Structure 1
Amino acid sequence: MLLVRPPGVYSPQADTELLTACVRREALGGSSRVLDLCTGTGAVALAAARTGALVTAVDLSARAVAAAWCNTLLHRGRVRLYRGDLLDPIPDERFDLVTANPPYVPAGPDRRGPGRGAALAWDAGPDGRLVLDRICRTVPRVLTGGGVLLVVQSDLADVPATLALLRAAGLRTSVVARRRQPFGPVMTARAALFEQLGVIGPGEREEELVVVRGVREP
């Protein structure tokens, strides 16, 4: 799918593809309400919109929201777009499906805040969980009964922690997709840091992408 992607906006990659494939397996229709967090170019939101679902997409980056707006026009997608921090723009709404491809790259002990510029799409604090933890703690409350959360992350950002937090929030959880792949440029540049943090072994240059699915009981 052709997408507009200005500089500084996250390019759809393997994690986007993995998450999109999982969205296509969900039972969505014209009455389904979908929220796509950290939407970037809007690729996942557009995949959900093609099912006829009512889709809302949110991103903290103004450039990302502009790119997603252009892409919804280009592909005639029915998507509401907001610039904001996760659930802030839609605090009182409920959704049948929430998707998220958040920043999840560990940035080391000296980088405790979110990234800046393009790095906003991948820098996620010392251990990669700066945004993941917030999603796990806040998204369950906006799910309808039987509603689903799909979140994609790297195994370098502690998948068991995601599963545990979602279970603590009352969701039934499982890993529904995996993909092993070599490090890309950002991960490669931080390989020595990852070794120091103990999240990879010496000389290891691969990660596993994982999609976690959480379901709120009806």
Structure 2
Amino acid sequence: MRALSLPGVYAPQADTALLAGALHEEPLRPGAQVLDLCTGSGALALTAARRGADVTAVDVSWRAVLTTRVNARWARLPIRVLRGDLLEPVAGHAFDLILSNPPYVPAPDVRPPRRGPARSWDAGNDGRLLLDRICQQAPAQLRPGGVLLLVHSALSNPESTLARLRAEGLNATVTDRRYTAFGPVLRARQSWLRSTGLLQGDTEKEELVIIRAERPL
């Protein structure tokens, strides 16, 4: 899952690897329509394209778009890379599989940063600024039998994600959980996270979850 990451672009980390593992478990027919939402470096888009899928990658960051295009060209994989806000660039298109590793880290500032590396992870006080929008928008762009694979932190309330996706008619479950040591961002925010009640006890490990949501046939 090697991929170049320009400065300011989210480099593949533990959450990327966990979602890539979930992707490997999904059956993909040749030419399946796959969307990698919040693509970052394009690592997941590359993984799907190597399996013969017809892949579209979307990110709001021009640097991420450029990075993914460079990585796709370097790997000689035909990936369509678009810049825009979540699903807006692919409005009207339906997909067999939507992958997303969006910004999900709770942050003291209720507003997401408009630039800089924190744009790749900060997502408001509860970490759900993008998660809630994905839960609302993605189900309508899944084909019957289509699947949404979403990774985020347990700090960002997976139960809310499940409830919202089920309310949109999807069959949603947590299919994997993994603990990983706090990185620099969460280490720096431990006191704030504990003051808000998002972090309990003295743990220094973050639980990541994979949520799989399928649109009924």
1:97-155 Cα distance to aligned partner (Å, 9 max, x none): 000000000002xx122223111100001100000000000000000000000000000
Which runs of structure 1 show a deviation greater than 3 angstroms over 4 or more consecutive aligned residues?
Answer: none
The equivalent of 1:195 in structure 2 is: 194
The equivalent of 2:138 in structure 1 is: 139
Gaps of 5+ in 1: none
Counting aligned pairs with the same residue, the percent is 50
Give the secondary-structure state (helix, strand or coil) at the position aligned to 2:34: strand
| Aligned amino acid, residue 68 of structure 2 | A
1:160-195 Cα distance to aligned partner (Å, 9 max, x none): 000000000000011111111111111111111110
The equivalent of 2:185 in structure 1 is: 186
Separation in 1 of the partners of 2:95 and 2:183?
Answer: 33
2:66 is the alignment partner of 1:32? no
Separation in 1 of the partners of 2:175 and 2:50?
Answer: 22
What is the Cα deviation at residue 2 of structure 1?
3.1
Separation in 2 of the partners of 1:36 and 1:2?
Answer: 16
What is the Cα deviation at residue 31 of structure 1?
2.6
Separation in 2 of the partners of 1:129 and 1:193?
Answer: 17
1:32-85 Cα distance to aligned partner (Å, 9 max, x none): 100000000000001110110100000011001100001001111221000100
What is the Cα deviation at residue 88 of structure 1?
0.7
Correspondences of 1:39-50 after superposition (within 5 Å): 39-50=39-50
CA RMSD in angstroms comes to: 0.9
Give the secondary-structure state (helix, strand or coil) at the position aligned to 1:140: helix
TM-score by length of 2: 0.97
2:86 is the alignment partner of 1:86? yes
The equivalent of 1:205 in structure 2 is: 204
What is the Cα deviation at residue 29 of structure 1?
2.3
Separation in 1 of the partners of 2:165 and 2:200?
Answer: 28
The equivalent of 2:77 in structure 1 is: 77
* 1:113 aligned residue (88, 111, 114): 111
- Report how many aligned residue pairs link the two structures: 216
Separation in 2 of the partners of 1:35 and 1:13?
Answer: 20
2:43 is the alignment partner of 1:11? no
What is the Cα deviation at residue 204 of structure 1?
2.1
- 2:145 and 2:215 in contact (8 A); partners too: yes
